[in-house]
Amino acid sequence: MTVRILGIETSCDETAAAVVEQGVMILSNVVASQSDLHAQYGGVFPEMASRSHIETIHSVIASALAQAHVSLDDLTAVAVTRGPGLAGSLLVGLNMAKGLALARGLPLIGINHLEGHIYSLWLSDVAHEVEFPLLALIVSGGHTELILVKRHLQYQRLGGTVDDAAGEAFDKVGRLLGLPYPGGPRVEEAARGGNPEAFDFPRAWMDDSWDFSFSGLKTAVMRAVKQRFPEWDTGRDTTSVDLPVADLAASFQAAIIEVLTEKSVQAAEKHKVKAVLISGGVSANQALCTAISGRAGDMAVYYPPKQLCTDNAAMIAAAGYQHYQAGQRDGWDLDARPTWPLL
Ligand code: KG4
Ligand code: ZN
């Protein structure tokens, strides 16, 4: 029997639904981003995010079914992100998933969002060549995690950020430099024209652990900005100030990439993995992927296409497929877990 799963994802500011067959074939992958809505606040405004999910989720699911040319009767199960994420946002997706599953007598499967990021790899065109064990670096606006994937659904968390997530650091530095939200892509763009050695920003190596820390780096960038522009304050217009934005962006990006690259490759070597997977929104950063690929030697380095690395529901359906096969069936009391570690 073909297993066809409807995935639903509403953990942050993307309302997403997708239909995936056999855990690998995307029939549809619809994402409605709220980033324009949150741009004016320089970050995600939680209550507005939940309200926007409520307004959009029905049409996003309808589009996902229509684009996949299936009806609810053609589905095998509904997989939904249970956490981690914003509580109010998660509840919108969860309740929608429950309603659909209850009405159609379909199994309900709650999924960890981080596991979804790992399973984005099985939706890419290298899926057939993936071998275990695998080291996953998940870098997004909410997470920076190093996870050893021993085999399907078997993980060991090696480390993660103790303060800001990598994407959060990009976004905060972007804001500091007067670039629009989300800062990550803008910082990368600005960095292309800058000198990565113009500023000697700190690298927090967190010796003897696989953890990361980026708040000191962010503070160092702020100090460098304040040296030129003492009146700097969050939200100030920096466009009329003579800030060396390209050099600051390039030096910041070089520091964060060096730490992510060294730690990932060292962890991969220590655990003798076959490949490294980079996933999450920050993996859209070409300089990061190039650095890890260059440093990894013979080890395979995978970074799925951008639309699968940023938040989407196809990855939730792909993870849902593995859990469905493993027999997971959740009850109608399934609750959101805003701070749900993968292990
Ligand atoms: O995975 P994602 O879409 O959502 C979360 O789960 O957070 O990741 C969004 C994050 C944002 O912080 C954004 O600035 C960052 O990914 N990002 C980037 C780039 N594109 C997106 N960071 C650095 N360079 C990029 N090119
Ligand atoms: Zn994510």
Matching residue, tokens 């910041």: 252
Looking from the CA of residue 167, the nearest atom of ligand 1 is 12
Which of the ligands is closest to the CA of residue 81?
2
Structure confidence by residue, pLDDT tens digits, 212-263: 999 999 999 999 998 888 877 766 666 667 789 999 999 999 999 999 999 9
| 101-110: average pLDDT | 98
Cα angle at 152 between 149 and 157, to 5 degrees?
30
Tell whether ligand 1 has an atom less than 6 A from the beta carbon of residue 140.
yes
- Domains along the sequence of the chain with CATH: 4-122+308-325 (3.30.420.40), 131-303 (3.30.420.40)
Cα separation values, 27 from 17, 32, 106, 121, 318, Å: 11, 17, 19, 16, 12
Tell me the HSE value of 342 on the side-chain side, using a 13 A CA sphere.
24
Sign of dihedral through CA atoms 260, 265, 266, 267? positive
> CB of 309 within 8 A of CB of 11?
no
> CB of 65 within 8 A of CB of 71?
yes
Please report the pLDDT score of residue 45 as a whole number.
79
CA of 262 to the centre of ligand 2 (A): 22
Tell whether ligand 1 has an atom less than 6 A from the beta carbon of residue 145.
no
Distance CA 155, CA 176 (A): 36
Tell whether ligand 1 has an atom less than 6 A from the beta carbon of residue 284.
yes
Please report the pLDDT score of residue 44 as a whole number.
76
Tell whether ligand 1 has an atom less than 6 A from the beta carbon of residue 81.
no
Question: First-to-last CA distance in the chain?
Answer: 31
CA of 90 to the centre of ligand 2 (A): 13
Distance CA 30, CA 64 (A): 6
Confidence of residue 40 (pLDDT cuts 50, 70, 90): confident
CA of 279 to the centre of ligand 2 (A): 9
Tell whether ligand 1 has an atom less than 6 A from the beta carbon of residue 184.
yes
Confidence of residue 193 (pLDDT cuts 50, 70, 90): very high
Looking from the CA of residue 11, the nearest atom of ligand 1 is 6
Distance CA 29, CA 311 (A): 11
Tell whether ligand 1 has an atom less than 6 A from the beta carbon of residue 283.
no
Please report the pLDDT score of residue 235 as a whole number.
61
Which of the ligands is closest to the CA of residue 139?
1
Distance CA 216, CA 213 (A): 7
Please report the pLDDT score of residue 154 as a whole number.
97
Structure confidence by residue, pLDDT tens digits, 253-306: 999 999 999 999 999 999 999 999 999 999 999 999 999 999 999 999 999 999
Give the residue with greater pLDDT, 306 vs 27.
Answer: 27
Phi, psi of 124 (to 5 degrees): -95, 170
Looking from the CA of residue 306, the nearest atom of ligand 1 is 20
> What does the mean pLDDT of the chain come to?
94
Tell whether ligand 1 has an atom less than 6 A from the beta carbon of residue 167.
yes
Tell whether ligand 1 has an atom less than 6 A from the beta carbon of residue 304.
no
Matching residue, tokens 């292309």: 192
| 17-24: average pLDDT | 98
Tell whether ligand 1 has an atom less than 6 A from the beta carbon of residue 185.
yes
Looking from the CA of residue 310, the nearest atom of ligand 1 is 3
Q: Which of 89, 186, 282, 309 to mutate to test the pocket of ligand 1 (most atoms within 8 A of CB)?
A: 282
Peptide bond into 84 cis (omega under 30): yes
- Segment (H or E) for 17: strand 14-21
Structure confidence by residue, pLDDT tens digits, 112-168: 999 999 999 999 999 999 999 999 999 999 999 999 999 999 999 999 999 999 999
Among 13-17, 34-38, 275-279, 292-296, the range scoring the smallest mean pLDDT is 34-38
Tell whether ligand 1 has an atom less than 6 A from the beta carbon of residue 56.
no
Tell whether ligand 1 has an atom less than 6 A from the beta carbon of residue 183.
yes
CA of 100 to the centre of ligand 2 (A): 24
Nearest alpha carbon to residue 6 among 23, 21, 22, 19: 19
**pTM score above 0.85:** yes
Looking from the CA of residue 183, the nearest atom of ligand 1 is 14
CA of 139 to the centre of ligand 2 (A): 8
